[in-house]
Amino acid sequence: QVQLVQSGAEVKKPGASVKVSCKASGYTFDSYAISWVRQAPGQGLEWMGWISVYNGITNYAQKLQGRVTMTTDTSTSIAYMELRSLRSGDTAVYYCARDEIDGDSGSAFDIWGQGTMVTVSS
């Protein structure tokens, strides 16, 4: 079935980097995009950025520009999100979600990964 499966929980020290993976299955990976969303404890959902799997074009949230990099590997159908210079405010559950690349609302955020908890603590 169509699904996104994310990597496991991470604990990092301030200043370190984290790289979360998101493996897609059950659909044609490069026909869609992947968005990344995070949720701090007890807070709402925050969009982090988007990557077109088809051509690698990215669009990042302004507040994360310079600290985040999103990539994909079409040979393994895996999307990656790397966040650098971690601080305590980055402690959150990180989700990947399938997104659209051509205005098709049917595929916008229809499938979500299970989430990856990233804890930043000294």
Partner 1 sequence: DIQMTQSPSSLSASVGDRVTITCRASQGIRNDLGWYQQKPGKAPKRLIYAASSLQSGVPSRFSGGGSGTEFTLTISSLQPEDFATYYCLQHNSYPRTFGQGTTVEIK
Pick the closer one to partner 1 by CB: 16 or 57. Answer: 57
Give the separation between CA 84 and CA 32, rounded to whole angstroms. 26
Shortest distance, position 87 Cβ to partner 1, whole Å: 21
Segment interacting with partner 1, rule: CB under 8 A, options 10-18, 69-77, 82-90, 98-106: 98-106
Give the tokens for residue 22.
Answer: 């998101």
For partner 1 (CB under 8 A), the number of binding residues is: 21
CA angle 93, 96, 102 (to 5 degrees): 150
DSSP conformation class of 102: S
100 sits near partner 1 (criterion: CB under 8 A) = yes
- Member of 16, 45, 56, 74 binding partner 1 (CB under 8 A): 45
Residue whose entry in the numeric block shows the structure tokens 């044609």: 28
